[in-house]
Structure 1
Amino acid sequence: MQGKKRYITLSAEQREALVEGHKRGNKATFRLRCQMILLSDRGRKIPDIADILGCNRQSVVKWLNRYENAGLEGLNTAKGPGRPAIVRIDNRKEVDQIERIVEEHPQKLDVARAQIEATLGKKMSQQTLRRLLKKTAGAGSASGAVHPSDPRKRK
C-alpha cells in the first residue's frame, strides 16, 4: 500500500533560488538537497527522487520537511555536537602566527604556548598545540624530510 503522493510546489523566485543553490552551493550535500526539492517540484515521487539521487526515501522526506519548515536555509547542515576548535585549521592568519612563534622556540613549546596565549588570547594545552602543529605539517616540514640515516629513504 502506498502513502499519499507528496510534492512541493515552488514559486518562480523559490525555484530560481534553488537552481542557484544547486549550481553554486558551497557544499555537495547542500546542492544535493536543492536538487531533491527541484525534482519534487517537477512532479517526481519520493521513491523516484531517492533512486535518482542514490539515497533512501526517509532522507528525501526529511529534507522536504526541512525545506517546508525553514526554506532554503533549512537545507544547510545543522551544527553538530562537540566543543568548537580553539584554532581552526582553515584560519590561515592564526595558523601562520602560531607557526612563526613555534619556529622561534622549536624546542620550548611551553614558551611558545605562553607567547601564543599572549598574542592571540587563546588558551591551549601543550598537547593541543602539538595536535595543531601535526595537522598543519606539510611536505616542507621536518616530518616530511628525508632522514639521512635511513638508507631506505635515500635516492
Structure 2
Amino acid sequence: MISFVSCQELIPPLLSKSEKSALEQGARTGKTPCFRARCEVILLKAIGLTSEQVAKFTAMTYVSVNGWTKRYQEEGIEGLQTKTGRGRKAVVSVVEDKESVLQAIKANRQRIETAKAEWEQETNKSVSLSTFKSFLKVLTDDISE
C-alpha cells in the first residue's frame, strides 16, 4: 500500500546557532548549486514556511522539500550533499584508459580523429570526438600537476 506524506506532516527543523551558521555558510559558499539550494530549503523551513512556500522560492516540488528536510533531520548537513555514485558514469576513465589513449595519440600525433578511431577499435568503447578531446585535456591537466 502506498502512503502519501502531506506537506504539513513534517515538523520544521529546530536549528541551533551553529547549525544555522553552517547552513547559511553552505547556502552562500557551498561547492555545488544543488547543495546551496538544499541549505536554503532547510533555512526556509526552519523559519516556519510551509513546504509549498519553500518550493515556490526554490523551484523544487514540495515533495523534494519534504525529502531534503527529512534527510537533514536524519543526517544533518552532511545529508544535504549529493551521495557518491549518482549521475551518469564516465565512459572513459583516467585509471583504466590513460595508457591506451596515450598510445593511440603517440601513434597518431597529428590526427586526433584517427587516434580516437584506433583507440575505439582497441578498447571496444565508443565516444564522441568532443568527449575524446575533453579526456585528453584531463590527461594534460593530470600530467601538468
Question: Could you tell me which residue of structure 2 aligns to residue 118 of structure 1?
Answer: none
Tell me if 1:43 matches 2:39.
no
User: For residue 107 of structure 2, what is the amino acid of its counterpart?
Assistant: H
Q: 13, 17, 23: which one pairs with 1:12?
A: 17
What's the C-alpha RMSD, in Å, of the aligned pairs? Answer: 3.6
Q: Which ranges of 4 or more aligned residues in structure 1 deviate by more than 6 Å?
A: 108-113
Query: Residues 30 and 77 of structure 1 are in contact (CA less than 8 Å); yes or no, is this contact kept in structure 2?
Result: yes
Q: Deviations over 1:115-152 (max 9, x none)?
A: xxxxxxxxx95232x527640327xxxxxxxxxxxxxx
Partner of 2:104: 102
Find the aligned partners of 2:54 and 2:36 in 1 and give their Cα distance: 14
Alignment partner, residue 3 of structure 2: none
Q: Aligned equivalents of 2:14 and 2:34: distance in 1? A: 22
More helix by share: 2
* Alpha-carbon distance in structure 1 between the residues aligned to 2:61 and 2:117: 51
| Identity within the alignment, % | 21
Count of residue pairs the alignment pairs up = 122
| Structure of higher CA gyration radius | 1
The normalised TM-score by structure 1 is 0.61
Q: Choose between structure 1 and 2 for higher RCO, CA contacts under 8 A separated by at least 6 residues.
A: 2
Question: TM-score if structure 2 supplies the norm length?
Answer: 0.64
Contact 1:102 1:112 (8 Å CA) reproduced: yes
SS of the equivalent of 1:131 reads: coil
Task: Please report how far the alpha carbon of residue 101 of structure 1 lies from its aligned counterpart in structure 2 after TM superposition.
Answer: 3.1
Whether contact under 8 Å (1:110, 1:126) holds in the other structure is no
Measure, in 1, the Cα distance between the counterparts of 2:117 and 2:8: 63
Flag structure 2 segments of 5+ consecutive residues without an equivalent.
1-5, 109-113, 135-145
Cα 1:24–1:125, aligned 2, differ >3 Å: closer, same or farther?
A: farther
Residue among 14, 21, 24 paired with 2:29: 24
